[in-house]
Amino acid sequence: MLKDLIPLLSGTKENISPSPPRQLRFLVIGAGSRGNAYARAVTTATPGVIHAVAEPHDFKRREFGRNYIWGREGSSAEGQEFADWREWVNWEIERRKRASQNVDPNGATPPPPPGVDGVFICTLDETHVEVIQALAPLSLHILCEKPLALSLNDCLTIYRTLQPPQGESQTPATPSKIFSIGHVLRYSQHNILLRKLLHSDRAIGDIVSLEHCEPVGWWHFSHSYVRGNWRRATPAGDGSLLTKSCHDIDFILWLLCSPPSLEDARANAISPHFPRSISSAGALTQFRRARKPSAAGEATNCLSCPAEKDCLYSARRSYGGFLAQGHLGWPLKIVCPDIEDVLHSHGASAAQSHLMSRLAEDYDRASTPDSVIASKPWYGRCVYEADNDVCDDQVVTLAWDDEDMPPHRLAKTASFHMIAPTEKLCERRGRVYGTTGEITYDSDTISVFNFDTSKRTVIRVPPPPLDQEESHGGGDYGLTKKFVGAVEAVENGELDVETAQARFVGCTLEEAVRSHAVVFAAEEARREEKVVKWESWWEEKLKASAAVWKA
């Protein structure tokens, strides 16, 4: 016995075989385009695995499972396939009860199947707050797709749900699990390099002003924000700026507001450089009845419209064109999730008929209850007769003052433009003006002009691999790898949660909520045609929310 203890007492590693790190398992809630994007990234770019899926649509759920969990020829095991996230929550509670009970040594009561370490929440935006509140007692690592929620109150509810209460010192307690939000623009190699040039390298000196544009894409906007799920503003009036561009606002704040390093900021008590004021202007300009071609007459659906052949936004031509080209992914798969299965099982003619039957779905505005109209997308509906009300053109302006306290950051301005009718599809572009130079950027290049030398340096950022080309410039993969890396560091005992959150994710829950708050402030400024003074506005919102929470 003593002989066996000598290597341990002496500190040597003889005869010691440390167990390998446990493989991380994740649940994906929502098997749509975002759920598939994160699952693909986990499967191909991290040591983790997708272990389970919760999705109400039978075909989408099983196709997801075949692609990422049980394989093309396999079938789901217990704990891997759920028709609803609530079903999974109930199952997980029971699984934990079973795990806490003594296992019969004779094998009559087998141990329960394994659970998961973390969850990707990829459901519709309006469900996020309910899902997170249900998951919080289970103490799991969470990555939630953006936006976090559709109202500021719901965002703050999520914050209070996941953030441990303050102690007597009034210092926020450290969360017990990793949290990340789908602000993928922070994680592309292009944008990481841009931020390094601006901060670490000071390639243009002090930043004076930034202009950033998201060109949504002329047909993309009609697909997602006129006919699709994100066509209507919330009761508070928060629409496309939140659902489409909240990560563009976060990107701007990340460049101009956040300290260069979250770890350094923690060590040196450096807070973000908050803006002084926020203003915004925008409207729904194009996709409304006043713009409807007169040749379309009273038609409300592309399949019965006399002007369809000459219309840019013909659903028959747009979606039928994707099918004819064999492009069965997004957006065609959003219109018909099972289009690939129909094509392969029954042929091109059946797939065409299946698509047209979906596009033919329509409603009579006078006789159809609004709740029915709002309940689903209408991908064949005339874009000038839809029930959309979100902005297709919006500008946000932010302004900062000089900072009195160290590190004495200087005044600057930023403008953001979200615009629908563009050639480019979500390929961001912008310009940053500095005291010693100027940087221009698009999705492929970063150009640095030096005032002193009059020289221009053009950096062509390598594109992501072909299998990542539709992943926000590799941002989906970057975000996923950072999230899984943080979870791995915590679960293997390498780092505490706060350090892993800072080092890998680079963004706290508080920062994610605050960047959403800037979006809500901008929308309030647009609706009420006013300038929001950030500090007093944010203090007022926090007080009002705290009062509701206590009540």
Angle at 480 between CA 475 and CA 483, to 5 degrees: 125
pLDDT in tens, the chain (551 residues): 323 333 333 333 344 445 567 899 999 999 999 999 999 999 999 999 999 999 999 999 999 999 999 999 889 999 999 999 999 999 999 999 998 886 666 666 678 899 999 999 999 999 999 999 999 999 999 999 999 999 999 999 999 999 877 655 455 677 889 999 999 999 999 999 999 999 999 999 999 999 999 999 999 999 999 999 999 998 776 899 999 999 999 999 999 999 888 888 888 888 899 999 999 999 999 999 999 999 999 999 999 999 999 999 999 999 999 999 999 989 999 999 999 999 999 999 999 999 999 999 999 999 999 999 999 999 999 999 999 999 999 999 999 999 988 888 999 999 999 999 999 999 999 999 999 999 999 999 999 999 999 999 999 998 877 555 556 788 999 999 999 999 999 999 999 999 999 999 999 999 999 999 999 999 999 999 999 999 999 999 999 888 777 66
The Cα–Cα gap between 347 and 342 comes to: 7
Q: Is 107 exposed, middle or buried (0-12, 13-18, 19+ CB in 10 A)?
A: exposed
The Cα–Cα gap between 94 and 91 comes to: 5
The Cα–Cα gap between 517 and 513 comes to: 6
What letter would DSSP give residue 205?
Answer: S
Q: Which fold has domain 184-286+390-550?
A: Dihydrodipicolinate Reductase; domain 2 (3.30.360)
Question: What CATH number should be reported for the domain whose range is 25-102+109-181?
Answer: 3.40.50.720
CB burial string 30-50: b at 16+ within 10 A, e below: bbbebbbbbbbbbbebbebeb
Q: Report the chain's C-alpha Rg in angstroms.
A: 26
pTM for this structure? 0.91
Residue 386: other Cβ atoms inside 10 A: 22
Residue 337: other Cβ atoms inside 10 A: 17
Angle at 480 between CA 476 and CA 483, to 5 degrees: 140
Enumerate the domain spans of the chain.
25-102+109-181, 184-286+390-550, 289-374
The Cα–Cα gap between 137 and 417 comes to: 40
Give yes or no on whether 25-102+109-181 and 184-286+390-550 have one common fold. no
CA 327 and chain centroid, separation: 24
The Cα–Cα gap between 153 and 549 comes to: 10
Measured CA distances, 102 to 56, 97, 99, 110, 463 (Å): 34, 10, 8, 10, 53
Say which residues have a Cβ less than 8 Å from residue 111's Cβ, sequence separation at least 6. Answer: 98, 99, 103
